[in-house]
Structure 1
């Protein structure tokens, strides 16, 4: 097993991340909070069963798999390099503004368009809960996922592929990883539709392009990737319903997919596909040869 991981670290990570999370989510999917096969329910913490049902599998998947594969493939020096990106906070305040406000502003614009201008102000309770919920999501969803997807997988994918291709490949895996959750309360089971699942997969692929641009542009700062990821989740779960009460779950997911697709397409055009990645400098010997 260790020989396979050393030879194929990226494939090993994807396999372990998906297998670990799916196995941990199986009880949640089979419980009364999902398919109803087993006669028990997960406890509701802070008004939701997701912390008890989803979070263990999330931690067992991307972050745990990234640590194990990095340790086996690259040793402790590799672990230190992987961990260093997690603490790369020293980035211009402008990027923090982009990570915190970019997705909410984009979702407000697209939500206004989809609702035909039927927009309401968010409640005082939603506004008061927004920042605490954002901090909670950073240490739950963000910490569980991004050390695997962006910190481990993305740099390795970009060594083999262009930034755009790497983003698309990672987005597909990222979306597939979530699929069992559509059989639970997380995905709206039993009222979930194929349209919602398809739009979610499309959103993951499109938003992966945005995340790659932010990760590359900030010198591979993982905290900025975490903030951008959870700002989408937080706005969608806390503010969206108050502002756009006429939009159902399927239309909401379609709107989020359209917003991510437009943002990703614009970034591809304006960065000429580089998505913030700095191209390696030419070798000195090559420069001399060209000059000669």
Structure 2
């Protein structure tokens, strides 16, 4: 499912503002209540509320599609995008781990993470739902196509990457989340922010250039999340992960521009 509509610039701006307000409200308001109440995210009700709030982008896109009764066309398919999506999503954390010589620790760490998630099935379901499916119908399915009507690759990446980061900010102040453990005013917090831009570009590549659509974005997002969870903590080497994913985005940009029609 993805949006392939032609709108006036004024209408596009209005729809994006509506989406932004709705997405922010669906996510930030529940997060605020959870934070004020100091809710334990390991408890069933707070976890359910958190899960719905984390699905703000995709839920907002669904509401917008239904509200405006828009036609939604085209889950794009090609033979190559699934492999490309997994490689582009998983490579940077794994390469960074290899470069610092921590590959030998990966099996033990990964096994403990998978066991904590309830086994392979639990880890797979959580990886797909927590972020990829919860977000990508909004970011890549609703916002990205509208930005691309009027902006180039760089501007679309900058705008969408910034919006994606701003949406995540409350998580840094909500106890029980991975972002809160990393901290906002830390190198991990800064790297989290910076990594969203090359990731945004890589998702733009697989969804648009490789014609994978929203499913491809979901797969990139899932591969990234899973690989970052399974590898041992990188510590100060998190900058190496940023360097690798940035280099990948640069290489993809070079390839994309070389293969553009004359």
- The alignment's TM-score, normalised by the length of structure 1, stands at 0.72
Q: Is the 8 A contact 1:130 1:234 kept in 2?
A: no
Taking a change above 3 Å as real, the CA distance of residues 137 and 50 of structure 1, as seen in their structure-2 partners, is: farther
Q: Is the 8 A contact 1:168 1:206 kept in 2?
A: no
State the number of aligned residues: 245
Q: Is the 8 A contact 2:161 2:197 kept in 1?
A: yes
Out of 37, 54, 59, the position equivalent to 1:58 is 54
Q: Is the 8 A contact 1:31 1:42 kept in 2?
A: no
Q: Is the 8 A contact 1:62 1:145 kept in 2?
A: yes
Q: What are the superposed Cα offsets for residues 183-208 of structure 1, whole Å, 9 maximum, x if unpaired?
A: 12214536615222221111111210
Residue matched to 1:91: 78
Residue matched to 1:232: 224
1:268 aligns with 2:253: yes
Structure 1 spans left out of the alignment, 5+ residues: 33-39, 282-292
Counterpart-to-counterpart distance in 1, 2:12 and 2:225? 34
Taking a change above 3 Å as real, the CA distance of residues 217 and 5 of structure 1, as seen in their structure-2 partners, is: closer
Bigger Rg over Cα: 1
- The alignment's TM-score, normalised by the length of structure 2, stands at 0.80
Counterpart-to-counterpart distance in 2, 1:22 and 1:111? 34
Q: Is the 8 A contact 1:29 1:181 kept in 2?
A: no
Structure 2 spans left out of the alignment, 5+ residues: 1-9
- Alpha-carbon RMSD: 3.0
Residue matched to 2:150: 160
Deviates more, 1:189-198 or 1:156-165: 189-198
Structure 2 counterparts to residues 113-128 of structure 1, below 5 A: 113=99, 115=100, 117-120=101-104, 121-123=106-108, 125=111
Residue matched to 1:285: none
Counterpart-to-counterpart distance in 1, 2:21 and 2:240? 31
Q: What are the superposed Cα offsets for residues 138-173 of structure 1, whole Å, 9 maximum, x if unpaired?
A: 234221100000011111101010122112210110
Out of 79, 91, 96, the position equivalent to 1:105 is 91
Counterpart-to-counterpart distance in 2, 1:119 and 1:220? 31
Higher RCO (CA < 8 A, seq sep 6+):
2
Structure 2 counterparts to residues 122-141 of structure 1, below 5 A: 122-123=107-108, 125=111, 129-130=119-120, 132-141=122-131
Residue matched to 2:3: none
Q: Is the 8 A contact 1:42 1:53 kept in 2?
A: no
1:15 aligns with 2:21: yes
Q: Is the 8 A contact 2:41 2:47 kept in 1?
A: no
Counterpart-to-counterpart distance in 2, 1:166 and 1:15? 19
Counterpart-to-counterpart distance in 1, 2:114 and 2:182? 28
Report the CA distance between 1:224 and its aligned residue: 1.5
Counterpart-to-counterpart distance in 1, 2:18 and 2:237? 34
1:67 aligns with 2:67: no
Q: Is the 8 A contact 1:5 1:12 kept in 2?
A: no
Counterpart-to-counterpart distance in 2, 1:229 and 1:208? 10
Residue matched to 2:195: 203
Counterpart-to-counterpart distance in 1, 2:182 and 2:226? 22
